[in-house]
Structure 1
Amino acid sequence: MSVDANAEKIYDVLKDTDDFDRGDADMLAGLKYSFSATYDKPLKDVTDKDDKSAKIAYKVVRGGKQLVEVRSTDGKSYVRTDLKEVVSLVQKSGKDGGGSEPGAPGAVIDEMTKKADRLPADMGGVKSALKGEWVVLDNAAAEEFAKSQGAGDTPGAPNPLSPDGKSQKRFLDAFRKALGDEAHFKDAGKKNGVDHVLVTVPAKKVAEDVKEGLKPLKDKLNPFGKQDKGKDDSLEDLPEKLTADVAIKNGTLTGLTVDAAQFDKKAKGHLPLTITVKNGDAAAVEAPSGAQELKPQDLLRALMTMGADRLADEGGAHGRPEKTGFEGI
């Protein structure tokens, strides 16, 4: 998935929208996201019980530089991130917290990266993560750690990120019905041997129909539980109609192009967001070699260590005895 336009074009279309500047346009230009998933059975037969057998990969690339890559297989997640490049993009966008002033996330991450080698020897996973090398996390251990810290599932509380199989089915059924009842199709001819169909849906009507179909799940899907009744303005900003160009070759979906400018009334012109679908063409998801194990608790430990190290540096600068920052760790 990517925006099919250069920075100049993106800026011309979105410059009058809220909180958008030239830095944002530069960041979006050339940004590509790819996702792949493979199972040991046809997708039509996959249920929520098969989640653990899935092999999933995704990555974010910009201008040929790989920013983030994740591979999930056999109960483990392999991750590598170019933190310097990610921070650089955030800084260029000019958003709060991305600057280089002391205390800003960008400055903190940059400082952490520089001090990676000063971490204790048994924090190899943290060092590798900071340097943009492969690290591996055990999914079950990470989930348990999240629960121990008060995150994730809590007894009696809903988890909107992990709906059960019945909830997922109800959502898909509601979505299918809404599209089936409201979508309109128009033949757009053939381009380069590929058939194109324009699909138009009344966005607000479809959203309202889906919302109506999900009413029985409202409290379960809401992270804050039951809510007081009142007017819901969440659909007000949706356009009346949305149109997508669907590409089909030999009866199979190969691509989808949506004018992203449709989603903001202040946008001027057209901004194609292109999604390319490569059925059965995904590369095998394999565990990378040399990945260092990264334990969630080590991340907290590293933050504490670096915080102590920073205070020690500041203490030394003011004439007080300088510590290593590793005492008591």
Structure 2
Amino acid sequence: MPEQVAELLAGARIAVSVQSKKPLQDSSETDITGMAMKVSGPDGDLLEYRQVGDWAYLRAGVKSLEKASGSQLPSAADLPPAATDLKQVLGGGWVKMPADSLTKNPSGKETSSADPGDRARQKVVIKGLQQLVGREVQLKDTGTKDGADHITATAPFRTLLTGLVDELRPLAADLPQGARLPTGKDLKDAPNKKITADFAIRNGALNEMSVNLAPLADTKDDKFALVLRLGKGDQAAAPGQATQIDPDALAQQLFGGPAIPGQKEPAL
């Protein structure tokens, strides 16, 4: 991993809120009424996404992304005239698209957990993941601290990651176009050191999970913490103004469109 990317991840904060008609543990996709996600770095918000009703909203923190990457993103003047959707995104304002356009598989068909075939595959995957955890993860009760019960889970990283990816392969066809799961060859150089996650439980519910990733890196640092906190989320609300874009056209402009004059590679 490049040092710049590692520094960005080390300072990143990701906040996710989900709203549903039912308790989340009993919810399916059709019960979700709103979602909000914000990715922030040391220099400000990098990306923000909201889903409210039938619309999905997206905003890129262009200046923060430039500082984080150490390079300047193309301006609207640098882009081909036809790249209208990409220009809107790089303008830094809110854009919107139909939410169902984000739930299509590579064939263009919508995917839904309500489909019997999808449910059957998901059950197979969940059962496989449960067996993987039972086989590879060692659990230990470490007592009570600050009013929370603590349990640790320890496992060899490469073995667990490889098993996780293998169990997810039945869902590979549902990945967005251009995305793929890593192969065994991709994972063979992953460190196989043991890592331990600490789970804090309050009143019978998971309150916080933390894992020290420092053992995976060739570094003298003692700690590199990844922390997940669960609590009350923010209400997802539609932005006051948002420009509608075509997600298919945006994907073409990002990954398949003509290169910017003077460059050998696409803009992004």
Fold conserved (TM > 0.5)?
yes
Shift of 1:207: 5.1
The number of equivalent residue pairs is: 246
Bigger strand fraction: 2
Match of 1:193 among 147, 169, 189: 147
Letter in 1 for 2:63: K
The 3 A distance-change label for structure 1 pair 192 and 166 is: same
Match of 2:89 in 1: 129
CA root-mean-square deviation: 4.2
Match of 1:77 in 2: 56
Aligned equivalents of 1:259, 1:71: Cα separation in 2: 30
**Partner SS for 2:223:** coil
What TM-score, normalized to structure 1? 0.60
Aligned equivalents of 1:276, 1:89: Cα separation in 2: 24
Shift of 1:239: 1.9
Match of 2:197 among 244, 253, 261: 244
The superposition leaves residues 111-150 of structure 1 with CA deviations (integer Å, 9 ceiling, x where unpaired) of: 32x679xx79xx6x76653331111111345778xxxxxx
Contact 1:143–1:152 (Cα < 8 Å) also in 2 = no
Shift of 1:277: 1.5
Q: Work out whether 1:168 is the aligned partner of 2:122.
A: yes
Aligned equivalents of 2:211, 2:55: Cα separation in 1: 34
Contact 1:55–1:73 (Cα < 8 Å) also in 2 = yes
Contact 1:246–1:257 (Cα < 8 Å) also in 2 = yes
Structure 2 counterparts to residues 49-128 of structure 1, below 5 A: 50-51=29-30, 53-63=32-42, 65-91=44-70, 98=71, 106=72, 109-112=73-76, 128=88
Bigger helix fraction: 1
Aligned equivalents of 2:88, 2:173: Cα separation in 1: 39
Q: Work out whether 1:36 is the aligned partner of 2:31.
A: no
Aligned equivalents of 1:306, 1:205: Cα separation in 2: 41
Task: Please say which structure displays the higher CA radius of gyration.
Answer: 1
Structure 2 counterparts to residues 234-273 of structure 1, below 5 A: 234-235=187-188, 237-264=190-217, 266-268=218-220, 269-273=222-226
What TM-score, normalized to structure 2? 0.71
Uncovered stretches (5+) of structure 1, i.e. residues with no partner: 1-18, 92-97, 99-105, 145-150, 156-162, 225-229, 312-329
Uncovered stretches (5+) of structure 2, i.e. residues with no partner: 110-116, 263-268
The 3 A distance-change label for structure 1 pair 30 and 218 is: closer
Contact 1:142–1:295 (Cα < 8 Å) also in 2 = no
